[in-house]
Each structure stands twice: as structure tokens, then as C-alpha cells.
């Protein structure tokens, strides 16, 4: 594992170099002082996807969801719970497939919820359907920093 990671700030998208030994110390952005690794999942759009996912040196797990989807409503609290627990080892993000149809189409999302793990723009893993917290942690473990 490298000694530091370059991560974009979810607020201002400025790049921040964070020592891997300090990931648990709630690092803040050098430009705007926002938390670089917030406890809640990031909301991804076509405007911030490049900075927060494609250029991310930390793996990012993305939950593709929709507000009308029953299984997505079940998965949401589980995803948020695991994000609060593992958010310094894997970045957590959500894409609303209704609002971000181009992003959903780019990844060929056919059913929701679908989770993707990506690192520097490359897909590492994909899983569709609801997972319990323990299953989600186990599925993410090989990809965490």
C-alpha cells in the first residue's frame, strides 16, 4: 500500500494528499476545510464523477438506486451504516438512476440496487440486489485500503 492517497474533496473537488496512516483522523480539505472522507455516502453526478471516482486513488463503492425502488429503500440504511463504519477504507457514493440516467447507462445498470466497486475509473466488482451489512463488509473487504 502506498504511503498516501490523492483524494478529491466532495465539496470543492480540490485534490488533497492524505497519508494512509491518517485516514482515520478525519482529514479535511486544504482549500475549503470540508471533511475529505465524510461519514455519509457522497451523491454523485455527471459533474463530480470524474473527480470523485475516476481520479480517486481510494476504491469507491457506488450504490445505483432510485426513490421508487422498494429493495433500494431496504438497502439504503444498510449502505449508510457500512459507510459510517468503513468510510476511511473505501469511499461510499450513491447515484440516483432517475436523475443521472447517463451515468447509469454508462455502466449498463439494468437492475437496482446495483453496487459497483471502482478504483481510478476501473470496475473491480459488481453485485445486484440487497445485501445485509455483514455481507456488504465481506464483499468490500478485498478492495479496502
Please list, in sequence order, all residues whose beta carbon lies within 8 angstroms of the beta carbon of residue 65, skipping any fewer than 6 positions away: 72, 75, 76, 94, 95, 96, 97, 112, 113
Burial environment of residue 139 by CB neighbours within 10 A (0 to 12, 13 to 18, 19 or more): middle
Query: What does residue 51 show for φ and ψ, rounded to 5 degrees?
Result: -70, -45
The set of catalytic residues is: 69, 72
Residue pair 74/113 in contact by the 8 Å Cβ criterion:
no
Q: How many CB atoms lie within 10 A of CB 110?
A: 9
Query: What does residue 20 show for φ and ψ, rounded to 5 degrees?
Result: -60, -30
Amino acid at each position: 500500500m502506498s504511503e498516501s492517497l490523492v483524494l478529491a474533496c466532495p465539496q470543492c473537488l480540490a485534490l488533497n494528499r492524505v497519508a494512509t496512516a491518517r485516514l482515520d483522523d478525519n482529514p479535511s480539505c486544504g482549500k475549503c476545510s470540508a471533511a475529505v472522507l465524510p461519514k455519509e455516502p457522497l451523491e454523485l453526478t455527471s459533474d463530480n464523477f470524474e473527480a470523485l471516482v475516476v481520479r480517486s486513488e481510494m476504491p469507491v463503492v457506488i450504490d445505483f438506486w432510485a426513490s421508487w425502488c422498494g429493495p433500494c429503500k431496504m438497502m439504503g440504511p444498510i449502505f449508510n451504516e457500512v459507510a459510517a463504519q468503513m468510510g476511511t477504507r473505501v469511499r461510499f457514493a450513491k447515484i440516483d438512476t432517475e436523475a443521472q440516467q447517463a451515468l447509469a447507462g454508462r455502466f449498463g445498470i439494468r437492475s437496482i440496487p446495483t453496487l459497483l466497486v471502482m478504483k481510478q475509473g476501473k470496475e473491480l466488482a459488481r453485485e445486484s440486489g440487497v445485501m445485509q451489512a455483514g455481507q456488504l463488509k465481506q464483499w468490500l473487504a478485498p478492495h479496502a485500503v
